[in-house]
Each structure stands twice: as C-alpha cells, then as structure tokens.
C-alpha cells in the first residue's frame, strides 16, 4: 500500500530481543531484511551485503497497528493531514493505521475512501486502511454504500459511525447482517445520546463538585449490551470502540465467554487518566467517552491484562488550537495519542505489572491486526513475511513536549509528563520510516 522504495537496501537487525506474539518468539534474534521482506530470523546471522543495525538492548517487534485514528483529511487539514498524521504514527512505532470516516465530506462512499487510501499510499509512511461510515453522512438514518466501499480500490473491511452512536437497533442489525457478505467488521461508538445530551464529563463525585453535567457510565454500557445481543443474534463481527467503563468490560468478558464474535479496544487515556483531571478545567482533558473514575481505569487495565480487550487504540483526535483552547463547555472532545501510546503502555501497564512486555506488544500489534485481519501486519515475524517492524527501547526515559510532536495539532494531555519507552526505528516493508528516533521524511 505504500509509496516507499520498492527495493530497500538489505539490513541486518542485530542483537535485539525479538518479541513476536503471533509466533510465540520472545528472545534474542537477528533479522535479515531483503527486498522488503524478512529473509531470515536466527542467532548470529552474517551481514554479507546487508547494512548492520545495532539493536543491542532494544526490542524488535511487529509494527504497531492503530485501529482508531482521526486524520481530519478531507475537510479539516488545519488540524491534521494524512501526511502529518502518518508521520506521527511512524514516530509512534506504527506501520498501519485506520482513519475514521468523520471527515468532511464523510467517508461514506467509494470516492472518499479511495482518496484517503490513495493519499496514504502517496505519503508512504504507514499503511492506511480507511474505515467507511455505516450510515449515509453518519446521520444514523440509512445504510451507506457498504458494498461499494468494500469492493472499491480501498477494499474497506471495517465500517463505523465513530463520533456518533448507531442509534437504531434495526440499522445496526442490518449492518451486522449485510457486512457478513464481505466478511467486514462493524465498529460501534457505544453511547446512548439521550443520556449524554449536554454532558461535559463523567458523572460522579467530581462532576457534582465542579457543577458540570455528568455523562453516566450507563450511557455506554446500555449500548454495549445492545450491540452484544445483536452480534449474537446475527453472527456478525462486532468491534467496540474505546471502552471506558468497568461495566462495559464485564459485559464484553461475558459475551466472549459465550462465543459472541466481538473484539474491543481501549485508548491510553482511559488507562492512564481519571476524571480528577477535569478539576483543572483545562479542555485538553475533555474527550469522548470522558475520562472515568479510578475504578473504571483499573477495570480497563484488567481487561487488557486478561484479553477481554484485544487492542490498544489511540483514538488520536487532533484539533486546531483555536477550536480546542477555549472554555471547557465550548471545546470539542479529543486528544492526541499516536506518539505517546507506547510510552503510556510501558509506564502505566508494564512497569506497574499489569502487562508483561510481550502482552503489551500483543495489544499494540498482533491484537489489533487480528481484529481487522490486516494483511502483512501484526506478525508473525518469519522468513517471507513483510518487514513491517518496530524497534524500541522499553527503558528509555523521556519527557513529553507537546510543541515537538509531529502532529499538526498540540492537544496532548501529557505535556511535561515523564514517561518510559521510546521508539528508535520503524520500518515499513524493510524501509526506514523512522531511524534513530527521527522521521526520515
């Protein structure tokens, strides 16, 4: 899918720890890369004509996959573009990203998704797999041209009205049924809008103290329960976006136990921040779904630990400064995520013992790739596979600096925060997109 050099120079990644959940490999290994593929994996490989790349003390893993990003193109290129978002993704260790359809115009037809995919190929920093809208204009009234998008040059196999819930159960049932014709996934934003109209933050003790209208956990959980019942009824493939509450995790865990075809994601901000952040009234902490309670954060961590939640997805949501830096009630929800996801996963999940490092890689790479069955991503890292790889230092300490991020926007809630875990190299089909921690272009 990429415009990268079709014949990159051969490389030998030497001395690293290969963590490849898809094959079960976790240990020292050298990787010989040739013609965009993994040519050989083993110990003590000879470089020959390949350029040696020292990976001593580093982890080599399948490239990360983000199921949920907002690139704002077309329509809001002042906030982000496919190029700037792709660069941010590569710097975050990603080799594949899935942009959501809430653009202007909405990606509800073959023309828009093909444009997004083509622009992604032209930029060539990550593979861009567009998500199509479930309903026309994301208005929740009638199904969009799912078949046309699935059979387009973009080969869309995931549909979502993200940013808007699919209000009518009838429509969601139709979508889950219809999508089976082309083995596609329906990804829902679980929210009962009748309970969140005017809501500004999570409903709880903090919202009561601040006098802000609350967003109850039940507004998410009611729709999660409905969606799971419809997935069970239809046999369709359901993906639940950005789970944020303990109740949602419990519902998904039970549904998986009875065989429902469901996968789920959680965003880093929902396992690293709580509603206490809203006390600052800084709109950088305003997000949809909102930051929840400490108990919800722990439940999300537990869900990631036991596999109830399959994937860490950033919900990267850039906003132009003039839109976001206003009073809380007027600010749009959303925050940056691509360049900090690995560090937050290591800092908030691995170091405290919620996840082992191999589990973290699984949730960042193999798990999300499996949710969408993305070809060539998530591993296994074996001879003949595309060399889509991330090399990172799990021990590297650094401080997040918003103005230095590659995204066109600056709305990170982690500015000034010290974290651990940093990407050193990212390779897309054997070509460096990031080398030595810097984007190659």
Q: Which residues of 38-77 are buried (b: 16+ CB within 10 A; e: fewer)?
A: bbbbeeebeeeebeebebeebbbbbbbbbbbbbbbbbebe
CA-to-CA dists, residue 382 to 22, 36, 42, 46, 339, angstroms: 10, 13, 10, 17, 27
User: Which alpha helices (DSSP H) does 192-258 contain, by range?
Assistant: 193-196, 205-210, 217-234, 246-257
Q: How far apart are CA 96 and CA 317, in angstroms?
A: 17
Q: Which two tokens stand for residue 94?
A: 């990603």
Other beta carbons within 10 angstroms of residue 19's beta carbon come to 27
CA-to-CA dists, residue 366 to 60, 64, 246, 255, 310, angstroms: 13, 8, 24, 22, 9
Q: How far apart are CA 106 and CA 433, in angstroms?
A: 29
Burial class (CB in 10 A: 0-12, 13-18, 19+), 315: buried
Secondary structure (DSSP) of 312-339: E---B----HHHHSS-GGGSPP-B--TT
Give the H/E segment covering residue 186.
strand 185-188
Angle at CA of residue 88, ends 356 and 408, nearest 5°: 140
Q: How far apart are CA 106 and CA 73, in angstroms?
A: 10
Phi-psi region of 368 (alpha: psi -120 to 50; beta: other; left: phi over 0): alpha
Known catalytic membership, residue 127: no
Q: Which two tokens stand for residue 238?
A: 């359901």
Q: Which two tokens stand for residue 42?
A: 């083993």
Angle formed by the axes of helices 294-306 and 246-257, to 10°?
A: 30
- Residue 108's φ and ψ, nearest 5 degrees, are -115, 15
Q: Which two tokens stand for residue 299?
A: 């439940």
List the catalytic residue out of 20, 188, 315, 323: 315
Q: Active-site positions?
A: 315
């Amino acid at each position: 899918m990429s415009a990268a050099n079709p014949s990159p120079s051969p490389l030998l990644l030497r001395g690293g720890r290969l963590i490849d959940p898809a094959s079960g490999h976790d240990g020292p290994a050298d990787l010989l890369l040739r013609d965009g593929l993994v040519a050989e994996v083993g110990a003590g490989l000879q470089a020959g004509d390949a350029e040696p790349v020292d990976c001593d003390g580093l982890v080599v893993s399948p490239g990360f996959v983000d199921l949920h990003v907002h690139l704002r193109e077309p329509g809001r290129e002042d906030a982000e573009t496919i190029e700037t978002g792709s660069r941010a993704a590569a710097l975050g260790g990603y080799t594949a990203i899935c942009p959501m359809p809430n653009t202007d115009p909405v990606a509800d037809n073959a023309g828009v998704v093909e444009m997004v995919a083509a622009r992604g190929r032209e930029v060539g920093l990550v593979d861009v797999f567009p998500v199509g809208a479930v309903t026309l204009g994301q208005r929740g009234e009638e199904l969009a041209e799912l078949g046309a998008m699935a059979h387009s040059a973009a080969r869309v196999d995931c549909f979502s009205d993200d940013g808007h819930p699919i209000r009518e159960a009838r429509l969601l049932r139709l979508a889950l049924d219809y999508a089976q014709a082309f083995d596609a996934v329906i990804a829902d934003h679980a929210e009962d809008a009748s309970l969140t109209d005017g809501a500004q933050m999570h409903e709880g003790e903090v919202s009561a103290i601040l006098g802000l209208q609350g967003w109850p956990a039940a507004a998410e959980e009611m729709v999660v329960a409905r969606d799971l019942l419809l997935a069970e009824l239809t046999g369709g493939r359901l993906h639940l976006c950005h789970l944020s509450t303990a109740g949602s995790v419990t519902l998904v865990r039970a549904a998986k136990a009875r065989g429902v075809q469901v996968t789920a994601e959680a965003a880093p901000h929902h396992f690293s921040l709580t509603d206490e952040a809203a006390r600052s009234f800084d709109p950088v902490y305003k997000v949809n779904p909102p930051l929840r309670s400490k108990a919800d954060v722990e439940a999300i961590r537990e869900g990631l630990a036991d596999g109830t939640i399959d994937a860490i997805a950033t919900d990267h949501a850039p906003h132009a400064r003039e839109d976001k830096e206003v009073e809380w009630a007027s600010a749009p929800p959303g925050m940056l995520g691509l360049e900090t996801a690995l560090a937050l996963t290591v800092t908030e999940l691995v170091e405290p013992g919620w996840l082992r490092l191999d589990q973290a890689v699984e949730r960042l790479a193999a798990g999300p790739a499996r949710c969408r069955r993305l070809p060539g991503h998530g591993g296994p890292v074996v001879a003949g596979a595309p060399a889509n790889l991330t090399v990172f230092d799990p021990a590297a300490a650094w401080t997040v600096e918003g103005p230095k991020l590659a995204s066109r926007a600056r709305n990170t809630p982690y500015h000034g925060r010290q974290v651990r875990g940093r990407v050193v190299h990212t390779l897309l089909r054997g070509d460096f997109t990031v080398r030595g921690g810097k984007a190659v272009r």
